[in-house]
Structure 1
Amino acid sequence: MSRAGRTSRRGIHFISMKYTHDLIVIGAGAAGLGCAGFGSSIGLKVALIDKSAKNFGGDCLNYGCIPSKALLHVASLFAGGKEAEAYGLQTSGKADFKKVMAYVHSRQEIIRAHETPEHFREEFGTDAIIGEARLTGKQEVTVGGKQLTAPKIVLATGSVPRTLDVPGVEKVKQWDNESLFWELDELPEHLLIVGGGPISCEMAQAFVRLGSRVTLLVRGERLLQKDPPKMGEILAEKLQAEGVDIRFKTEVASFSDTQTAVLKGGADAGAEEGSGSIEFTHLLVAIGRKVRTEGLGLAVAGVKVERGRIVTNERYRTSNKNIFAIGDAFGQEQFSHGAEFHNTQLWNNLLSPLKKKHNLDKFSWVTFTDPEIASFGMTPARLQEKGIAFETRELSLEADDRAIAADYRNGHLIVYLSTGWWGGGKVLGGCLAAPAAGEMIQELHLLQFQGKKYGALTNKIYAYPVGSRIIQKGARKGASDLLTSGPLPKLLRWMYRVGNR
């Protein structure tokens, strides 16, 4: 953006004498930055507050998406070298973890240049304030001893990692995704990970590839509970093949000392505490996150909290009609692109009389392991809940040419389609396990957004042998089934013979 453009955009702020700002945003993570940036871009006087400059960028930049993906990138280099041993390459040793983390931090700093208080002040004219913010009235926030007021306040205050609460836990250092990327300075000899979700799986694969021994404790019967069971099975097989020791239906019962966990469950699903123990050097806990509610003055502002979550309606409004919660503070999907979605919906509702409700029917999410597990749209449970009839189309990548050439034949595609003669065949959701699956599902996701039928891809020409041809194969399978079954083949034979005599 040019400086002239910025001057024009910032212009003159028409604010009632009753308020110091048009909008106050607390929290400078993905949700807060997006909310404050847009408000400032249209010429509103926006206050964006966070407790420290380092917190700008939030969980995604500092503790989540960016550092984890940078770590996974380095780990993939090690995996490639290991696989190449089968063809004559000789490798040995483990990762120099200090160099690995130096790379991770360097990637963060590149992105951080556009997510600082200074950048927002200069680029957008945002009143970026560093300090502890607290609600001190229905439309008032106090920070650094100064009272700010606005007709609307947005809470983008994020979440914090959940911790284990079992006997003896005080003896153990619990690493989480926040401490992992800033405090860990050595490659764990034996990393014990608790949890079976995306973070657990990504970190298990990253560290086993870098040279750690990794044990993964999963309370449930499979990985990735929010994805189809088939996807969890594929990922489990891959992790186990790389050396991750996965123990399903297993929990930590207690800690007997700083590096020993007493387990319960395991192969014997009914086992009691004392069914075994495991020694480790480092403990990573990834059992979810909880909304940040302490120290914000929520009660003073009339913002209700129930069961550890800020109470909101489907339009992100809290029990105080002038205060909204977005991002992790909203308490549902905790993704950076979830925060982006919340902002889109919230700003529509702040500017338009046509209000939008929170709805995840066209949402997507990706676990960035190898293979990636990418899901989009409605799940079978959601479709059944809404009473929508659907068919499931599945396709293994076992016979796919690109998968054969690049050795990922264990991949799998699932697509959910509407049924019925007139409205059948529309893409409703799906999931893919494959390298770069997050990129490959985008075409299907677009069809869902546009309300198009899967068959729209049937005659598209894909360069051979791009991986995304598998997306088309699912569509062509449906067309082939239609043309080669029932009464249609007889009609087609007649048409050929009549037209070619």
Structure 2
Amino acid sequence: MNEAVRNEAPRTYDVIVIGAGPVGENVADRARAAGLSTAIVERELLGGECSYWACDPSKALLRPVLARADARRVPGLRQAVDGPLDVDAVLAHRDKIASYWKDDSQVDWLESVSVDLIRGHGRLDGPKQVAVQTPEGDTVHLTARHAVALCTGTSTALPDIPGLGTVRPWTNREATSAGRVPGRLAVVGGGVVAVEMATAWQALGSQVTMLVRGDGLLERMEPFAGELVAEALREAGVDIRLKTSVASLARAGGAGGEVRIALADGGALAADEILFATGRAPRTADVGLENVGLTPGDWLAVDDTCRVTDVAGGWLYAVGDVSHRALLTHQGKYQARIAGAAIGARAKGEPVDDARWGAHVATADHAAVPQVVFTDPEVASVGLTTREAERTGRRIEVVDYDLARVAGAHLYADGYRGQARMLIDTDRGTVAGVTFVGSGVGELLHSATIAVTGEVPVERLWHAVPAFPTISEVWLRLLETYRDQQQPSRS
């Protein structure tokens, strides 16, 4: 391991990875497992956004919120959890999960797999060339024999709103690392980050107002998902304002003053902090794209092995969020495993398995992307939505079932509310998409992902017997509903 590299002769590796989040770490690990010498370049913390400012700390904030919500629905238990959360304990646990924003354990892991770490800001400096500006002000020049992988992820896409820079808005980073609970929190956006952080901070004591430009929450998912989440948030005390846009911002009285929000409809709102959860932008503005014929700041188009299509020679890979295929940590890690294996095969002159569902292609990016939204109720989905099927011309049959009618749901919670939807590809007789909404449905998702990815015939699914009494019995109920829908109507 050579972490503090100083000015020296250029160094050569088989593979150079820029960005040491979960995606970059997995590319490096797979390349090293293929026997290739590998270096990874990181300017912040190893583990990236997910470990310190997104997945891990956000779920640490949400877990006590959701556990308490579930407990309150269990007779005999609700009285034991009545009362506010212990905010200090929740935040302390969040800090522990985020490793107190230190990456020592990640460095140890890199050492264990024999990947060299170079701290600093890495930029492409020509074909297979990377220049790293170190924290000490030195420049390290690296050359890749086979591949460079850009795994730099994304950051919050902030809108162009007058006064935005003066209010120091929260992004996902501040929302997941804040050390105190704001009395009033305005959340701009209606997607996953917006609903999860509204759920967390409302339960921790904030008065939360959501400002949503669209017609509903979670608009990329099935409509009932956003509707059920919005219903629960409102019941919890969140003020959700749809079709609402921010016109301008100002912070009164200096750093500790309130944020004054002018709305496009002429209304106004005051908050102690304002969180923008308005989408993501690629971190490609300053990684040297111009030196290899690409436009700085752009998303990077890739083939199914994650090679950048607009760069000659096939040496540049873009993996994870920067490829704009599926902006999810688990999906980026999947791409990383694919890319690392493909790099290894090409470096050794071995055949590339690029058939559909082959070892070197990210087919799931197109057909089976799973996602869980950790709200109350949870949302879990994989594959197509009804809207996507209609847009792409897929012939499907929609099968809906009320999750509250499943026996296991009655045991899970008194007054359980939820919904399940299964989409059947009528030409192939397989499951094309599944969406679940309800407490605990995240644990149902992998079975749905296997059904979609494995293209399991519906006839075969009848033989996958769900245990009684569990919520997974919803699979049987969906199949029964589908069967009944196929029966000719009786006059």
TM score, norm. by length of structure 1: 0.83
Size of the aligned set, in residue pairs, is: 453
Aligned equivalents of 2:163 and 2:233: distance in 1?
Answer: 30
* 2:126 alignment partner in structure 1: 137
Distance (Å, rounded) in 1 between the aligned partners of 2:100 and 2:481: 45
The amino acid across from 1:139 in the alignment is: K
Distance 1:456 1:109 in 2: 45
* Paired residues of 2:71 and 2:78 also in contact (CA < 8 A): no
- Structure 2 CA distance for aligned equivalents of residues 438 and 104 of structure 1: 21
Alpha-carbon distance in structure 2 between the residues aligned to 1:340 and 1:279: 40
> Using the alignment, how far apart are the partners of 2:77 and 2:47 within structure 1?
43
Taking a change above 3 Å as real, the CA distance of residues 344 and 60 of structure 1, as seen in their structure-2 partners, is same
Q: Matched residues in 1 for 2:326 and 2:32: separation?
A: 26
CA contact (8 A) 1:455 1:479 kept: no
Aligned 8 A contact 2:73 2:415 in 1: no
Following superposition, the deviation at residue 56 of structure 1 comes to: 0.8
Does 1:25 find its partner at 2:13?
Answer: no
- Structure 2 residue corresponding to 1:472, chosen from 472, 476, 486: 476
User: CA 1:251–1:115 in structure 2 vs 1: closer, same or farther (change >3 Å)?
Assistant: farther
| Contact 2:18–2:151 (CA under 8 A) maintained in structure 1 | yes
> What's the % identity of the aligned pairs?
29
Residues 159-198 of structure 1: CA deviation (Å, up to 9, x unaligned): 111224312223312011112333x221111111111001
Matched, 1:437 2:464: no
CA apart distance, 1:379:
2.5
Greater length-normalized contact order (CA 8 Å, ≥ 6 residues apart):
2
Q: Is the 8 A contact 1:56 1:115 kept in 2?
A: no
Report deviation, 1:134.
1.8
User: What's the offset of the Cα at 1:330?
Assistant: 1.3
Unaligned ranges ≥5, structure 2: 1-9, 253-258, 346-350, 355-360
Q: Which amino acid aligns with 1:473?
A: R
Match of 1:331 among 324, 330, 334: 324
> Any stretches of 5+ residues in structure 1 without a counterpart?
1-17, 265-271, 488-501
1:240-274 CA deviation, whole Å, 9 max, x = no partner? 1111110100111112544221112xxxxxxx4x1
Which position in structure 1 is the counterpart of 2:286? 295
- Distance in 1 (CA, whole Å) between partners of 2:89 and 2:189 is 27
Q: 1:369 aligns with which of 375, 387, 402?
A: 375
Sort the Cα spacing of 1:205 and 1:442 in 2 relative to 1 into closer, same or farther, 3 A. Answer: same
2:260 maps to 1:260: yes
Counterpart CA distance in 1 for 2:113 and 2:485 is: 55
CA contact (8 A) 2:69 2:376 kept: no
* Deviation readout 1:407-450 (Å, 9 max, x if unpaired): 35421111110225xx43x1111211012222213222212222
Corresponding residue for residue 4 of structure 1? none
Alignment correspondent of 2:255:
none
For residues 466 and 86 of structure 2, the distance between their equivalents in structure 1, rounded to whole angstroms, comes to: 42
Q: Which amino acid aligns with 1:116?
A: Q
Aligned-pair distance for 1:338?
A: 1.7
Tell me how far apart the structure 2 counterparts of residues 234 and 329 of structure 1 sit (CA, whole Å): 31
Return the alpha-carbon distance in structure 2 between the equivalents of residues 228 and 400 of structure 1: 21
Give the one of 112, 116, 119 matched to 2:106.
Answer: 116
Question: Aligned residue for 1:10?
Answer: none
User: What's 1:228 paired with?
Assistant: 222
Q: 2:424 aligns with which of 417, 439, 443?
A: 417
Q: Following superposition of structure 1 onto structure 2, how do residues 83-482 of structure 1 map, counting pairs within 5 Å?
A: 89=79, 94-109=84-99, 116-121=106-111, 123-143=112-132, 144=134, 145-150=139-144, 151-182=146-177, 184-258=178-252, 259-264=259-264, 272=265, 274=266, 276-305=267-296, 308-318=298-308, 319-320=310-311, 321-350=314-343, 351=345, 352-355=351-354, 356=361, 359-405=365-411, 406-407=413-414, 409-420=416-427, 423-424=428-429, 426-480=430-484
Task: Measure how far apart 1:21 and its partner are.
Answer: 0.6
Match for residue 46 of structure 2? 56
- What is the CA–CA distance in structure 2 between the aligned matches of 1:189 and 1:118, rounded to whole Å? 40
> Structure 1 88/132 Cα, relative in aligned 2: closer, same or farther at 3 Å?
closer
Structure 2 CA distance, aligned partners of 1:456 and 1:113? Answer: 46
- After superposing the two structures, state which structure 1 stretch, 38-47 or 253-262, moved more: 253-262
Question: Which ranges of 4 or more aligned residues in structure 1 deviate by more than 4 Å?
Answer: 80-88, 90-96, 110-115, 484-487
Q: 2:72 aligned with 1:70, yes or no?
A: no
**Structure 1's 277 and 386: CA in aligned 2 closer, same or farther, altered over 3 A?**
closer
Structure 2 SS opposite 1:410: coil
Shift of 1:385: 4.5
Structure 1 66/105 Cα, relative in aligned 2: closer, same or farther at 3 Å?
A: same
Question: Counterpart of 2:398 in 1: which secondary structure?
Answer: strand
Q: Letter of the 2:421 partner, please give it.
A: I
Deviates most, 103-112 or 411-420? 103-112
- Cα distance in 1 for partners of 2:209, 2:248 equals 17
The residue that corresponds to 2:3 in the other structure is none
Find the aligned partners of 1:438 and 1:87 in 2 and give their Cα distance.
Answer: 23
Question: 1:455-483 CA deviation, whole Å, 9 max, x = no partner?
Answer: 4333444332111111221112334555x
Q: Is the contact made by 1:444 and 1:471 (CA closer than 8 Å) also made in structure 2?
A: no
Does the aligned pair in 1 maintain the 2:196–2:374 contact within 8 Å?
Answer: yes
RMSD: 2.8
* Alignment check: 8 A CA contact 2:149 2:318 kept: yes
Structure 1 residues 37 and 110, CA, compared in 2 at 3 Å: closer, same or farther? farther
Q: Specify the code of the residue in structure 2 equivalent to 1:217.
A: L
| More moved, 400-409 vs 146-155 | 400-409
Of 452-461 and 56-65, deviating more is 452-461
For residue 28 of structure 2, what is the aligned residue in structure 1? 36
